[in-house]
């Protein structure tokens, strides 16, 4: 099963990707997590990406397309994958089409901007696994610690309110057009398209996803 999770920053893509990965046994391909790993490793890609990400802007299409093509060619993607945070521009979606990468489902998470700003203030992450928490809405079992490893949780560098607002602006300008793009693909029978209410509680959103994908 090949699934695109489409939605604004903080809409819940990473949270639900963890649920879907466990349920369907397919890998999460989070371009944001890949870039953060490159920053941590101090690679050339990481150095380029850091400045752009800290400003809340998008990394260049060429870099991202290369990264994703390489990742989906790996053997664990043979039975499908979850694209989390990709594609997020029309050229990225076109590149997938040109490479003949078909998707089965495109799922849009609908969450208003004011809810997102509130969520990002309380987000805590476990970078090594991609697990995501919220101090109020999805708290870890032990405060400040990852449920599985017990490692310390972190605040993402781009979760400052100003940066979140820039990222939301970029989303509306450059990523939202993909809603029409994939709805058109669905009406031509190329994939299925569903829009879900991402403001519901985490478990309710997971239940809705299970229904759509069953």
Q: Tell me whether residue 81 or residue 86 sits nearer to ligand AP5 (CB atom).
A: 86
Q: What's the closest the beta carbon of residue 205 comes to ligand AP5, in angstroms?
A: 5
Residue 192 among the catalytic residues: no
14 binds Zn ion (CB under 5 A): yes
- Distance of alpha carbon 40 from alpha carbon 47, whole angstroms: 9
Binding region for ligand AP5 (CB under 6 A) out of 19-27, 74-82, 126-134, 183-191: 126-134
Structure tokens at 204: 């309710």
Residue 13 among the catalytic residues: yes
- Distance of alpha carbon 80 from alpha carbon 83, whole angstroms: 10
Q: Tell me whether residue 24 or residue 187 sits nearer to ligand AP5 (CB atom).
A: 24
**Residue 134 touches which member of ligand AP5, Zn ion, none, C-beta under 5-8 Å by kind:** ligand AP5
* Residue (of 87, 69, 82) closest to 24 by Cα position: 82
Q: Find out whether 112 is annotated in a ligand binding site.
A: no
Q: Which of residues 5-44 bind ligand AP5 (CB under 6 A)?
A: 7, 9-15, 31-32, 35
**Residue 194 touches which member of Zn ion, ligand AP5, none, C-beta under 5-8 Å by kind:** none
- Distance of alpha carbon 139 from alpha carbon 179, whole angstroms: 31
- Distance of alpha carbon 169 from alpha carbon 140, whole angstroms: 30
Count Cα neighbours of 148 within 13 Å in the Cβ-side half-sphere.
10
Burial 50-88 (b: 16+ CB within 10 A, else e): beebeebebbebebbbebbeebbeeeebeebbbbbbbbb
Question: Do 138 and 15 contact (CB within 8 A), yes or no?
Answer: yes
Q: What's the closest the beta carbon of residue 44 comes to Zn ion, in angstroms?
A: 23
**What are the binding residues for AMP?**
31, 36, 57-59, 85-88, 92, 156, 167
Residues that bind ligand AP5 (CB under 6 A): 7, 9-15, 31-32, 35, 52-53, 56-59, 64, 85-86, 88, 92, 119, 122-123, 132-134, 137-138, 158, 167, 198, 200-202, 205
């Amino acid at each position: 099963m090949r699934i695109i999770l489409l939605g604004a920053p903080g809409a819940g893509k990473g949270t639900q990707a963890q649920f879907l990965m466990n349920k369907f046994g397919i890998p999460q391909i989070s371009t944001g997590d890949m870039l953060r790993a490159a920053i941590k490793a101090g690679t050339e890609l990481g150095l380029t990406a850091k400045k752009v990400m800290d400003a809340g802007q998008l990394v260049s299409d060429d870099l991202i397309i290369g990264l994703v093509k390489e990742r989906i060619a790996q053997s664990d993607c043979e039975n499908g994958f979850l694209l989390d945070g990709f594609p997020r521009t029309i050229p990225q979606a076109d590149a997938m089409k040109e490479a003949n990468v078909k998707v089965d489902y495109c799922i849009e998470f609908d969450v208003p901007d004011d809810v997102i700003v509130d969520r990002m203030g309380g987000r805590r992450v476990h970078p090594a696994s991609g697990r995501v928490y919220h101090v109020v809405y999805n708290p870890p079992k032990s405060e400040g610690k990852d449920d599985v490893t017990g490692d310390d949780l972190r605040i993402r560098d781009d979760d400052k309110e100003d940066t979140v607002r820039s990222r939301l602006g970029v989303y509306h300008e450059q990523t939202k057009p993909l809603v029409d793009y994939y709805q058109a693909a669905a009406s031509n029978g190329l994939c299925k398209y569903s829009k879900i209410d991402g403001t519901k509680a985490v478990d309710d959103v997971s239940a809705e996803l299970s229904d759509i994908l069953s």
